[in-house]
Chains A and B, each alone.
Chain A
Amino acid sequence: MDIQANVIAFLQSTLGVPIDVIKAHPDTQVLGAIPEMDSTSVVGILASLEEQYGIVVDDDEIDADVFTTAGSLNAFVESKLG
């Protein structure tokens, strides 16, 4: 199960940005670097991840750090899957 590829794909499809805007690399900057990334996008991406992986993300588990880079979001999902 390639979580990083899914995370990148969810970011691209939810934000509706061209593929080259979100490069398939853990260091790709997201929150604060991509104007399309707002609270509605956060909701969309979390919903996609919850549905894909059958996880439930609580409010106190997420903060801006989780969405800093593609890699940080990937690490968060991996931690949820334990």
Chain B
Amino acid sequence: MNPAKCSIKADFLELQGRKLFYLLLQPVFVRAHGSVLFLPPFAEEMHQSRHIIAAQARELAALGYNVMLFDLTGCGDSSGDFADATWQMWLQDAACAVHGLANLGAGPLILWGLRMGALLACDLSQDRLDVDKLILWQPLLNGEQQVDQFLRLRTAIAVTGKPPTFDRKTLWNELRSGRSLDIAGYTLSPALALQLAKARLNDLKPGCPVHWLEIGALPDGALSVASANVLAHWREQGTTVQAEYVYGEPFWRTINADVNPILQRNTLDALARP
């Protein structure tokens, strides 16, 4: 792919005194016929996956989409501290980015979310009529699992030799009693952890059709049972859902993962479908 097929602009969106950093990728040789807003995953997963997301964004832009990548409050190059961020704040950030991208006025608006970003996308789409499709990559089924796995970064050291000095139950109790935790270079506030822990895909009703792409480690694998349950629930409540399994690395938790060409192509196909 030739990077010159898209232009890249970096700027900030302003929201209630916060400055949200964004990159806007736009086609150079063709007219934009769609808009894609990427919603990022949580903490380290954002960093691990950044090059994969950038590659997909360039590809989409070259093919005629305006693509916006932005950093949530307290993350990346946006203003604020991670310690002060809340789930509500991140939903507001995403709504602000939707507004910014929609103002450019190029075709249908698609939210593309990875992991926690998929949860944000579903939550955001519930109350909006201006979102036409959700593309969900390896959706996080519930925020509690994300927080729990994040807490494990502090406790897993015990497995590799050192005696355990605390466990996750203790850490959850710290959060519930209003204390922040320092984990892997992040200060996790009780407000963010407890709000995120309450967010569940099963409790949401996406406001538009959904295309679900799940990535697994087996060449002939299938969607996990837990994912299939969420999809069945959504179908019952009338949401149009397409889901597919793609073989590949868990690039959101792998250093220097390779771009997955099948995931790239299936994403393009999903976007192109009416």
A binds B: yes
Which chain B residues lie closer than 8 Å to A31 at the CB level?
A: 159-160
**Cα–Cα distance between A28 and B149 once the two chains are bound (Å):** 26
Closest residue of chain B to A10, judged by CB? B217
The reply to whether the CB of A21 lies closer than 8 angstroms to some CB of chain B is no
Closest residue of chain A to B141, judged by CB? A51
Contact present for A59 and B218 (CB under 8 Å): no
A13 and B159 contact, Cβ closer than 8 Å, known pairs A6-B217, A50-B149:
no
Which chain A residues lie closer than 8 Å to B226 at the CB level?
A: 51, 54
A6 to chain B, nearest CB (A): 6
Counting contact residues on chain B (CB < 8 A from A), the size range is 20 to 34
Contact present for A44 and B253 (CB under 8 Å): yes
Residues A23-82 near B (CB distance < 8 A): 31, 38-40, 42-44, 46-48, 50-54, 56, 58-60, 62-64, 66-67
Instruction: How many A-B residue pairs have C-beta atoms within 8 angstroms? Tell me.
Output: 86
Contact present for B255 and A16 (CB under 8 Å): yes
Closest residue of chain A to B151, judged by CB? A59
Which chain A residues lie closer than 8 Å to B225 at the CB level?
A: 53-54
| Contact among B152, B169, B217 with A12 in the assembled complex (CB-CB below 8 Å) | B217
Contact present for B156 and A39 (CB under 8 Å): yes
Question: B-side interface residues toward A, CB under 8 Å?
Answer: 141, 145, 148-149, 152-153, 155-161, 164, 167-169, 216-218, 221, 224-226, 248-250, 253-257
Known: A59-B152, A59-B158. 16 other contacts (CB 8 A): A6-B218, A9-B217, A13-B249, A16-B249, A16-B256, A31-B159, A39-B157, A42-B159, A42-B160, A46-B149, A47-B149, A52-B224, A60-B167, A63-B158, A64-B159, A64-B160
Question: A-side interface residues toward B, CB under 8 Å?
Answer: 2, 5-6, 9-10, 12-14, 16, 31, 38-40, 42-44, 46-48, 50-54, 56, 58-60, 62-64, 66-67
Chosen A-B contacts, 29 in total, with CB atoms closer than 8 Å, are A5-B218, A6-B217, A9-B216, A13-B248, A13-B250, A14-B254, A16-B249, A31-B159, A31-B160, A39-B153, A39-B160, A40-B156, A43-B149, A44-B250, A46-B149, A47-B253, A48-B250, A50-B145, A51-B141, A52-B216, A52-B224, A54-B224, A56-B148, A58-B168, A59-B152, A59-B168, A63-B159, A64-B159, A64-B161
